[in-house]
Amino acid sequence: FPNDLFIVSYPKSGNTWTRFLLGNLIYQDEPVTFANIECRIPSVYIFSDRQLHRLPRIFKSHDCFDPRYKKVIYIVRDPRDVTVSAYHYSIKVKLLPHNCPIEEFVPQFMSGTFGSGLLADPRWGSWYDNVASWLAMRHNRKFLLLRYEDMLENPQRELSKVAAFLNLETSPTRLARAVELSSADHMRKMEKSQAKDWQLTKSTRQDKPFVRDAKAGGWQSALPAKSVAEIEASWGSLMQALGYELATTPPAPDEHTALVRS
């Protein structure tokens, strides 16, 4: 349907958090939980009977650019932090042994072919493929780009951008309520009692949390220098264009750098 909204991101970039924020902003009758999130804002990969949802509908996706997605909120996150998050999630879903060195995981992650359908899919590509594929939409009035780091810094401000994008009537009180109900602390508490009710966590290791640190820059203590250099050498130009400072020598600009800055 032309009015469908898609919340799109590469995996482990804040998509679930964004769904909670938007769901708690829209649905005032009952807060969003891990038990009802797939009914409120379902994943295109999990929920099949989409006709049951009232219009306009909202879906989650990790796909690279798809022209069928007419209205999109795209979330981007520092790929160094995405790498760390994907590493821990791969252990949680039992795709990696708990003692696998992270530096061995990084090349798999960068290739976009790691894991399984829980964490990787040919339609998603690598972080670079996915992000770059959507940037041509950047100046389209039906496309909103959000940075995970900006959302962490001021979630109420970024959620107000989402509300304006969707022409939602809101207020500071309503925004604050949505932010509070979607906070990392609140989501962690819910996860403890609802992890076995949610598709993405019910068959995973229960000793490993889905909602982890929810912070920016954790890669600085988690990634070896060699791994940081590998990521920045391949993706650094796009990272810089999106506002991510590099720890190594900047690579030469590429076509997507100009696209982001234009």
Confidence of residue 202 (pLDDT cuts 50, 70, 90): low
Distance CA 32, CA 29 (A): 10
Q: Which tens digit of pLDDT belongs to each residue from 63-103? A: 999 999 999 999 999 999 999 999 988 888 777 888 889 99
pLDDT by residue (tens digit) across 127-159?
999 999 999 899 999 999 999 999 999 999 999
- Verdict on whether the full-model pTM lies above 0.85: yes
Q: Please count the structural domains in the chain.
A: 1
Q: Residue 165 and residue 237: Cα distance in Å, rounded?
A: 28
Is the distance from CB of 226 to CB of 67 less than 8 angstroms?
Answer: no
**Cα pseudo-dihedral 54, 57, 60, 66, rounded to 10:** 140
Residue type, 157: R
Containing domain of residue 27, as a range? Answer: 5-261
SS3 content of the chain, % helix, strand, coil (to 5): 45, 10, 45
User: Which CATH number belongs to the domain containing residue 43 in this structure?
Assistant: 3.40.50.300
